[in-house]
Chains A and B, each alone.
Chain A
Amino acid sequence: MSKSKINKKLGFRLGFLIALFFLFFIGPFFLPHEPFETNISQAFLPPSSQHIFGTDNLGRCIFCRIIAGGKISVFTSLAVMTLSSVIGSILGIIAGYYGGIWDKIISDIITVFQAFPSFVLAIAIAGILGQSIKNAIIALCAVYWITYAKLSRSLVQQIRSDNYIKAAWLCGAPPTSIFFKYILPSIIGSLFITVVLDIGSVILSMAGLSFLGLGAVRPTAEWGAVISESRNFMQQAPWIIGFNGLALFLVVIGFNLFGEAMDEKINCK
């Protein structure tokens, strides 16, 4: 594929994500209805011009709740990705750069964490910590940091014996300088692509934890929690689950497609 086509694709997908960000972070200031205000006389209204996605069991506007919930889903996923990628990368770089005992300790910790199915581990941690968004973020960070630790460790191991690193070291450059000037620029691209590709998966995991009652607490409009709460009205009011599921699908696919385009862009170089 030509560079211009890749740029066009990337631009379009980035535009879609930026639009979503505007919708979720600026949109709440312009909502037609208050997302948490109950109006029980308006319960279970199907989609109409007044409520384009209909209303839920307590008469709350589903469209407004989806917008309000989008902020939580995207923000929490970004928080998980930021924390886990920073923590994981630091540990991976330490293991990869220094090797020896550091590598052994960190690699053993990674091996222990890898022994558990990741989502089961997240459920267990969130279950022990209790139901809250904060605890769900901690649980997911405990699962996702491994990816970045492994990736950064192997990337650093590859470049550590390169001549330009050795030369810098022989010239007496301090480790922080080597790290920021030479190592980080070499691995940041791969880490960034992995982060972007993982965001969709984290959004789904966060929704999964909330669906199981381990994430957002009532009456937060987090999509997974809303889908869980409205399961019992699936037959009477399918639009509640339908539109929340659609929002989840669009955001996840948006991040995945953007990640794929970024990957193409970087590999094209």
Chain B
Amino acid sequence: MKKKLISALLIAALSVTALAGCGNKADKSNEAKTTETEETSTEGKVLRAGATSGWFGAETLDVANGWDGWIMSIYGISENLFRLDESYVPTPYIAESYEQVDDTTWKFEIRDGVKFSNGNDVTADAVKKCFERTYKTNERADSTLSIASMEADGQTLTIVTNQPDPTMLNDLCDPLLGIYDASKEPDAELGVSCTGPYVATSFTSMDHVSMVPNEYYWGTAPKLDGVELSIIDDTNTLTMALQNGDIDLIARMDASETDLFSDKTEYTIDSATSTRSAFLLYNLEHSGVSDKNVREAIGYCVDRESFANVVYNGYSEASYGVFSTAVPFGGTDGLTLTVDKYDPEKAKEILSDAGYADTNGDGTLDKDGKELSFKLMTYSYNDETLQLADMMEAELEKIGIGIEIETMDVMVETEQAGDFDIVIDSYAMAPIGTPQYFTNLVMVSDASDNFGKYSNPTVDALAKEMSTTFDTDKQYELCDQICQEIINDRPFDFIASTQLIFCYRNNVSGVTVNPSEYYLIDSNIDINE
């Protein structure tokens, strides 16, 4: 009896302590909030936004470093000579006008009065120096825009390309070609000086960035007094941060979370069909997945419709072709599909015809002594691709293919090292609105992101021709031929084209969802009292 009483007292004491702990936490968070509010009130209107590292995760604030230029464009720190509108049409931005002199020569007039955030003028020579540094620093630059030479004269920049470049203006929208002051060494923390509406005042890699308006901004004056962007890779924490009022906006929200913000009196959900696709990338140098029959069988085991409708909560479209239907060269019209439905029985048949059988009775198919067992990698923070991995594991096990799922925060180094069999990746496939982007980035033999080592001379030749063809119809015809080759060879398997989702409190205004995924913070975003 005495023992029971002591136990009851202990439980009560524990409960009180736990509750007190929660209370303290709440008090602390309130305290923090109060301090923040006080800071906010002294600083004015501050937008607090959160996203996973896939959207906000810059390593540095140097446009030329890796993919940081893209993130800096999202931050509203860097800008380009041209900017894509919501229909992927490039419009003059830092460049005021342009003239195409011949197939390879272009003249750009740099807008007068544009300054870097350090007060220096943006001249043609500054842009030239900036591009020169970027090309020296980043190996992706050459495949983005192949420049033979540049000449600067006052505000006129002349660019000569190595070959005719029909997508020149779109290429100049790529954030890798963002404009920054290359005459100064980048600051260790705050990186390079750019021309965007906001400048960083504090930056911690893969954690947060604090920004204030750029006093030299050339466009409409930014409406906010400050912007705080945080990387929160735990999507549950991210969701609760918006619910609790710790942040005002979530960029690229997971589709599965949208149901929690259905109250239209409090939240707005904006979405746009982007060209981003979740796709399987096969390592063609590894046995098993190097067999086209195996890849085709795997393709038949992916229930794309369910993935798009349930996992993506309808914010996605099942894909059997290559490019998203959001772009004129996308969809499956005119293509002969090798996989056009979810059909595990068909997959079994293909593998059986190809000579795979479970000869040793371990439940996994094998051929010539090699088991059909693969390492499947995906991002640890991407709920949708994680669920796809689980779906695939369960489906493939049924047909005798073993899958070991491995998750990672950053996959690029593993992909570059070729230490994978299958990767579930997610790329914006045509962020500049052209088929050349993804083709040259991933599909051609010497592409920088051709991690699976796919090599098809026909694709290489078609890609080369497409890259120099000015006639848009002809470009799309060549794109169709490339897509057909990809569908036949199946080095990649495109599962679903997804939507870009922003969710924010109703007191936030001026947010535009641009399907290119290049932009978020701009001078129009405001917070209403």
Q: Are B407 and A218 in contact (CB under 8 A)?
A: yes
Grouping DSSP codes into helix (H, G, I), strand (E, B) and loop, the B interface class, with mixed when no group exceeds half, is helix
User: Would A217 and B236 count as touching, CB distance under 8 A?
Assistant: no
Contact A231 B405 (CB under 8 A): no
B234 touches A231 (CB 8 A): yes
The reply on B256 being an interface residue by CB < 8 A is: yes
Q: Point out the residues of chain B lying under 8 angstroms from A229, CB to CB.
A: 386
Q: Separation in Å of the A12 CB from the closest CB of chain B?
A: 16
Q: B391: which A residues are within 8 A, CB to CB? A: 38, 40, 58
Q: Is B143 engaged at the interface, CB distance under 8 Å to the other chain?
A: no
Question: Which of B256, B303, B390: most chain A CB closer than 10 A?
Answer: B390
Which residue of A40, A131, A219 is within 8 Å of B311 (Cβ)?
A40
- Pick from A58, A131, A218, A236 the residue with the most CB of B within 10 Å: A218
Contacting residues of chain A (38-53) with chain B, CB-CB under 8 angstroms: 38, 40-41, 43
Asked whether A236 lies within 8 Å of B259 as measured between CB atoms, the reply is: yes
* Cβ-neighbour of A38 out of B257, B390, B406, B407 (below 8 A): B390
Residue of chain A at shortest CB distance from B378:
A218
Which residues of B have CB within 8 Å of A41? 306, 310
A side interface size, CB within 8 A: 20
Bound-complex Cα distance A105 to B499 (A): 62
- Chain A positions within 8 Å of B389 at CB level: 218
Q: Is the CB of B406 within 8 A of A40?
A: no
Interface residues of B in 369-404 (CB under 8 A from A): 380, 383, 386-387, 389-391, 393-395, 397, 404
Contacts of B404 in A (CB 8 A): 217
**Most A Cβ at <10 Å: residue of B257, B259, B306, B406:** B306
Complex CA gap A36/B387 in Å reads: 13
Contact B393 A233 (CB under 8 A): no
- 8 Å CB interface, A197-244 against B: 213, 217-219, 229, 231-236
Partner of A40 from B303, B386, B405, B407 at Cβ < 8 Å: B303
The yes or no answer to B254 lying at the interface (CB within 8 A) is yes
- A43 CA to B260 CA, complexed, in Å: 17
Give the nearest-CB partner of A43 in chain B: B310
CB-defined contacts of B234 to chain A, threshold 8 Å: 231-232
Of the candidates B236, B303, B390, B406, which one forms a contact with A232 in the assembled complex, judged by CB atoms under 8 Å apart?
B236
Contact A58 B387, CB 8 Å, known A36-B394, A232-B254: yes
Question: Does A37 interact with chain B (Cβ within 8 Å)?
Answer: yes
| Cα–Cα distance between A229 and B397 once the two chains are bound (Å) | 20
Which residues from chain B contact A38 at a C-beta distance below 8 Å? 390-391, 394-395
- How many residues on chain B are close to A (CB under 8 Å)? 29
Q: A58 and B259: CB pair below 8 A?
A: no
Expressed in whole angstroms, the Cα–Cα distance for A162 and B106 within the complex equals 98
Does B239 sit within 8 A of A, measured CB to CB?
Answer: yes
Q: Is the CB of A233 within 8 A of B256?
A: yes
User: Inside 8 A of B393's CB, which chain A residues have their CB?
Assistant: 36, 218-219
User: CB-nearest residue of chain A relative to B305?
Assistant: A40
User: How far, in whole Å, are A36 and B257 apart by their CA atoms in the complex?
Assistant: 24
A232, B259: Cβ atoms under 8 Å?
Answer: no
On chain B, the residues within 8 Å of A218 by CB distance are: 386, 389-390, 393, 405, 407
Q: Does B481 touch A at the CB level, under 8 Å?
A: no
Q: How far is the CB of A2 from chain B (nearest CB, A)?
A: 14
Q: How many Å lie between the Cα of A102 and that of B364 in the bound state? A: 49
| In the complex, B235 has a CB within 8 A of chain A | yes
The CA of A37 and the CA of B396, in the complex, are separated in Å by 11
Q: Is the CB of A213 within 8 A of B387?
A: no
A residues 8-46 in Cβ contact with B at 8 Å: 36-38, 40-41, 43
A89 at the interface (CB under 8 A from B): no
Partner of B306, one of A37, A40, A219, A236: A40
Selected from A131, A219, A231, A233, the residue in CB contact (under 8 A) with B394 is A219
Known: A58-B387, A232-B254. A217 touches B303 (CB 8 A): no
Q: Contacting A131 at CB < 8 Å: which of B259, B386, B406?
A: B406
Q: Which residues of B233-258 have CB atoms within 8 Å of chain A's CB atoms?
A: 234-236, 239, 254, 256-257
Cα-based distance from A169 to B523 in the complex (angstroms):
89
CB of A221, distance to nearest CB on chain B (Å): 11
Q: Does A147 contact B (CB under 8 A)?
A: no
* B405 in complex: contacting residue of A37, A43, A217, A235, CB < 8 Å: A217
Complex Cα distance, B235 from A8, in Å, reads 49
Find the A residue at minimum CB distance from B260. A235
Q: Does A57 contact B (CB under 8 A)?
A: yes
Enumerate chain A residues within 8 angstroms of B306, measured Cβ to Cβ: 40-41
Interface pairs A-B: 8 shortest CB-CB: A40-B306, A218-B405, A38-B394, A40-B310, A232-B236, A219-B390, A231-B236, A232-B235
Q: Mind listing 20 A-B residue pairs with CB under 8 Å? A: A36-B397, A37-B394, A38-B390, A40-B310, A41-B310, A43-B310, A131-B406, A217-B405, A218-B389, A218-B390, A218-B405, A219-B405, A229-B386, A232-B235, A232-B239, A232-B257, A233-B256, A234-B236, A235-B239, A236-B260
